[in-house]
A and B are shown apart, each in its own frame.
Chain A
Amino acid sequence: MLIDAGLKDVIGMEGGILAWKGLVASGPPEAGMAYFPQEERSEKLIALAWALEEGSRRFYAGVAGKTQDRDAVALFQGLVSAEEQHKSTLLKLFHEIAHDAYASKSPEALVPDRPAGEIMEGGMRVDEALAWTAGKNIADILDLSIALESNAFDLYMKMERAAGEEHSKQVFHALSEEERQHLNRMTLLIEKRA
């Protein structure tokens, strides 16, 4: 059907998803984004991303303070800085494109059901995730972090598709590439520990 429809180079995966050993994201197709009205979709996407970045920042700050592994501490502290930078990028974009009604507000006001810092990508609550890490070894914490970053990577690619205007698409694209770099750094540390 795909080939008949004119798509070129259509390729299936042997064994399907069950055979896949790579990164996996979870959650619904558009994570609620499809329900944002078109005329304010970009603002709401940015606000949602901003709130989730604060959740990730809190999580990494929390785990950085719980481990003695110097490489892991450096990685998590670097991620705290990266998430702060992402928040700044998103806040700047928000004020650049927000309609007048939103321009003076915090992004948080647009997604009242997602209080900043309480939830991370994938819908996981930060407090629950931090509680889970108590007593866990660094490999387990890195596994959870990879799941978190996979969801962030997934979300930004979806936001890029869903964003209504080009500048937002470009910012979401850049953020997705940075999340990919975070994943690469985590994978390298896991391989170093193996």
Chain B
Amino acid sequence: MDPQTFFKEIPSWTPDKIREFLGNKDHTSYNLVDVRQPAEYEQGHLPGARLIPLGDLSSRINELDRAKPTIVY
């Protein structure tokens, strides 16, 4: 899947707004998903982010809690 196709379907926030959102929230109150490749994730990721590469999303979607907001990058 083309990442641009994936992201143009969803609203986006600035990094500052995401940092404010994550702020002091309990990390179990949201899903935080890194859709890049494992090597990119290893180099650096947002603390607590779950790695689900784009190509695996459809098969691993059940790892996410549908009732919670989902931040994806």
Contact = CB atoms under 8 A, between A and B. Distances in A.
Interface of A: 1-3, 5-17, 19-29, 150-151, 153-154, 157-158, 160-161, 173, 176-177, 180
Contacts of A26: 42-45
B15 A29 contact: no
A11 B71 CA distance: 5
Contacts of A23: 46-47
Interface in B2-35: 6-7, 9-16, 18-19, 22, 24, 26-28, 31, 34
Contact of A10 (B10, B19, B45, B51): B10
A179 B47 CA distance: 11
A7 B66 contact: yes
B46 A20 contact: yes
A8 B66 contact: yes
A12 B64 contact: no
Contacts of A22: 15, 19, 22, 46
Given A8-B67, A11-B70, A157-B27, A24 B44 contact: yes
Given A1-B58, A11-B69, A12-B7, A176 B46 contact: no
A14 B48 CA distance: 19
A25 B45 contact: yes
Q: Which 4 A-B pairs have the closest CB atoms?
A: A9-B69, A157-B48, A12-B12, A154-B47
A5 B12 CA distance: 18
B70 A20 contact: no
B48 to A, nearest CB: 4
B47 A153 contact: yes
Contact of A157 (B40, B42, B47): B47
A20 B19 CA distance: 9
B47 A2 contact: no
B9 A17 contact: no
A21 B15 contact: yes
Contacts of B42: 26-29
A151 B69 CA distance: 24
